Amino acid sequence: MKGLYNYFREIVVGFWSIILGYSVTLNQLVKPIITVQYPRVKLEMDPAYRGHIELTKMLDEGHFCVACGTCVRACPSDVIKVQGIKSEAGSGKTGILFLIDYSRCSLCGICVDVCPVDALRFSMEYELAHYSRWDSVIDLHARFKEQKVRG
Amino acid sequence: MSPPPTDPNFFVNFWNQASYYIGPELWVSLVGLLAIIGFVTINALALIYGELKIAGHIQRRPAMMEVGWHGFLQPVMDAVKLLVKELTTPTGANRFLFIIAPGVVFLPVLVAFIVIPFSETLVVRDINLGLLLIFSFSALNVVGILIAGWASHNKYSLIGAMRSVSQNVAYEIPILLSAMAVVMMTNSLNLNEIIRAQDKVWFIIYQPLAAIIFLIASTAETNRTPFDIPEADGELVAGFHTEFSGMRFALFFLAEYSNMFIVAALFAVLFLGGWRGPVLPGLIWFLLKVYLVVFVVIVARWTFPRTRFDQLMTFSWKILIPFALFNLVFTGLIIKLVG
Q: Are residues A10 and A66 in the same domain?
A: no
Residue B1 pLDDT: 53
Q: What end-to-end distance do the CA atoms of chain B give, in Å? A: 70
Nearest-10 crossing angle of helices B74-84, B10-58: 120
| Strand ranges in A3-139 using DSSP code E only, listed in sequence order | 53-55, 80-86, 93-101, 120-122, 137-139
Q: How many domains does chain A have?
A: 2
Per DSSP, what are the bridge partners of residue A121? A54
In a domain, A82, yes or no: yes
In a domain, B65, yes or no: no
In a domain, A75, yes or no: yes
Residue B294 pLDDT: 92
In a domain, A12, yes or no: yes
Q: How large is the average pLDDT for residues B50-60? A: 90
In a domain, A134, yes or no: yes
Please report, to the nearest 10 degrees, the dihedral formed by the alpha carbons of residues B285, B287, B288, B289 taken in order: 90
In a domain, B70, yes or no: no
Residue of B nearest to A8 (CA): B319
- More confident call, B11 vs A91: A91
Q: Are residues A18 and A71 in the same domain?
A: no
| Tens digit of each residue's pLDDT (9 = 90 or more) over A101-114 | 888 888 888 988 99
Percent helix, strand, coil in chain B (nearest 5)? 75, 0, 25
Does the beta-carbon distance from B319 to A33 stay under 8 Å?
no
Q: Are residues A81 and A129 in the same domain?
A: yes
| Tens digit of each residue's pLDDT (9 = 90 or more) over B2-27 | 666 666 677 777 777 766 666 667 77
Nearest-10 crossing angle of helices B282-301, B246-271: 120
Q: How confident is the model at residue B326 (pLDDT cuts 50, 70, 90)?
A: very high
Domain residue limits at A7: 1-31
Does the beta-carbon distance from B62 to A34 stay under 8 Å?
no
Mean pLDDT of chain B: 85
* CA A14 to each of CA A17, A104, B84, B326: distance values in angstroms, whole numbers, following the listed order: 5, 55, 45, 19
Q: How confident is the model at residue B64 (pLDDT cuts 50, 70, 90)?
A: confident
In a domain, B5, yes or no: no
In a domain, A73, yes or no: yes
- Say which DSSP state B317 is in: I
Phi, psi for B196 (deg, rounded to 5): -65, -30
Per DSSP, what are the bridge partners of residue A93? A86
Q: How large is the average pLDDT for residues A46-60? A: 81
Q: Are residues A26 and A57 in the same domain?
A: no
Residue B67 has pLDDT above 70, yes or no: yes
Residues of chain A contacting residue B318, judged by C-beta atoms under 8 Å apart = 7
Q: Are residues A22 and A60 in the same domain?
A: no
Q: Are residues A58 and A130 in the same domain?
A: yes
| Tens digit of each residue's pLDDT (9 = 90 or more) over B89-106 | 888 888 888 888 888 888
Q: How many domains does chain B have?
A: 1
- Residues B231 and B154 sit within 8 Å (Cβ to Cβ): no
Which residue among A24, A31, A35 sits closest to B62, beta carbon to beta carbon? Answer: A35
Residue B89 pLDDT: 84
DSSP-assigned states of every residue in A7-32: HHHHHHHHHHHHHHHHHHHHHHHHSP
In a domain, B26, yes or no: no
In a domain, B46, yes or no: no
Residue B292 pLDDT: 92
In a domain, B56, yes or no: no
- A–B CB contacts, 8 A cutoff, strictly below: 35
Task: Quote the distance between the C-alpha of residue A85 and its chain's center.
Answer: 31
Question: Which residues of B touch chain A, with CB atoms under 8 Å apart?
Answer: 54, 57-62, 65, 299-300, 302-304, 318-319
The CATH number of whichever domain residue A141 belongs to comes to: 3.30.70.3270
Residue B5 pLDDT: 60
Does the beta-carbon distance from B303 to A21 stay under 8 Å?
yes
Residue A20 pLDDT: 92
Q: Are residues A58 and A125 in the same domain?
A: yes
Question: Which residues of A touch chain B, with CB atoms under 8 Å apart?
Answer: 7, 11, 18, 21-22, 24-26, 28-29, 31-35, 37
Q: How confident is the model at residue A12 (pLDDT cuts 50, 70, 90)?
A: very high
The reply to whether ipTM tops 0.90 is no
In a domain, B318, yes or no: yes
Residue A16 has pLDDT above 90, yes or no: yes
Residue of B nearest to A7 (CA): B319
3-state SS, residue B52: helix
Domain residue limits at B152: 86-338
d(CA B57, CA A33): 7
In a domain, B41, yes or no: no
In a domain, A65, yes or no: yes
d(CA B255, CA B223): 11
